[in-house]
Structure 1
């Protein structure tokens, strides 16, 4: 059964409401039940083959956030926002990673792992001999941005502000968070929380090209 969760006009209204928040209210925290939905929006994000070549590091420790601030071009969002999410790729995914995913698939679908051997072979073949030039870490990075988009859209529908940030030094984030030791690398950062009443950016009109300039129908 398919149900409409939000009216179309409500969805559009919230997407128009969303903006890259420049100043967060440091005193306002996302309620735990709301955060759990945002957390699951990342977990449920789609990815090619379903491989999920990522991990989402939620940095709650204020001291660590302060360490990240100078590596974030001084952008205070990383310390003021309720939550700070570092979207990272699993570096150099390989056949062992595919086997781990297939084992999980077998567990969830309650089928013998041997039944999924053909699928595993297709995925491994794609990775080893892709039909086009493929850098696996760049491919994983593109997958991470899908998760980022789903996270931000879900946040907007829940009335939570976000600010996607590429303005940071990934290698320094990796160092502070100890990501290389875990096999991960930071790609993009997204603080989430509530906009400050002092953030004048919220009042600025959203600048977009006309719809007909960016959407073309081919009938």
Structure 2
């Protein structure tokens, strides 16, 4: 039990440590080993039907970051200073059809489902997409994007646990960012769209204010 209590305090300490870092120390870089660990927590994150509808694009090229800066208002301080900058892509309708290459690969090659299970799950999934998501590209993309946030949260928490700062970013022009990534050959075709961004590195200075959150009893209701 002592070990469990110690682990819980360690995790809570990481949550207290984490904040939306606006500017990073350019003299400090995340080691390859540590960043691989962060990416691995994203890779191991759960997803609906186990389809992993994401792709993590690590933007280290300074020229590409500069191209993204004018259309990424929420990343003005992070793009030039982050040790590692990640654009998280989510799959669109074409990549998430029940008979798409990706979905078939996930069921058969990754999860090694028996053919009977593949047929049953494929039928259930097809019905879900057609009824709940109305077979609509925007709704399907939003559904996939929501799942990328699970990986995003896991990566930021994992980073905090080893003393690495981060900042999630939604403040950007999706159409223009998408166009830039298409021109760079990063997004090819209609399989992916841009869900969110996240910057990693080491803070240049500590936050000016302590972390502020509502009390637990204000956001939790027991029935």
TM-score, length basis structure 2: 0.85
- After the TM superposition, list the runs of 4 or more consecutive aligned residues in structure 1 that deviate by more than 2 angstroms: 99-116, 129-134, 179-183
Partners of 1:48 and 1:117 lie apart in 2 by: 17
Partners of 1:111 and 1:167 lie apart in 2 by: 40
Unaligned runs of 5+ in 1: none
Unaligned runs of 5+ in 2: none
Q: 2:208 aligns with which of 175, 196, 203?
A: 203
Partners of 1:79 and 1:131 lie apart in 2 by: 38
Partners of 1:106 and 1:132 lie apart in 2 by: 25
Partners of 1:68 and 1:130 lie apart in 2 by: 34
Segment of structure 1 superposing worse, 29-38 or 117-126: 117-126
Partners of 2:58 and 2:189 lie apart in 1 by: 15
Q: Does 1:189 align with 2:193?
A: no
1:25 maps to which residue? 25
Q: 1:140 aligns with which of 141, 144, 151?
A: 144
Tell me by how many angstroms 1:143 deviates. Answer: 1.1
Q: Does 1:172 align with 2:176?
A: yes
Partners of 1:176 and 1:182 lie apart in 2 by: 13
Partners of 1:152 and 1:49 lie apart in 2 by: 23
Q: Does 1:213 align with 2:215?
A: no
1:53 maps to which residue? 53
What is the alpha-carbon root mean square deviation over aligned residues? 2.4
2:154 maps to which residue? 150
Partners of 1:185 and 1:100 lie apart in 2 by: 15
2:77 maps to which residue? 76
SS in 2 for 1:96: coil
Tell me by how many angstroms 1:121 deviates. Answer: 1.5
Question: Does the 8 A contact of 2:58 with 2:87 survive in 1?
Answer: yes
Count of matched residue positions in the alignment of Structure 1 and Structure 2: 212
Tell me by how many angstroms 1:129 deviates. Answer: 2.4
SS in 2 for 1:191: strand
Partners of 2:187 and 2:109 lie apart in 1 by: 29
Question: Does the 8 A contact of 1:65 with 1:79 survive in 2?
Answer: yes
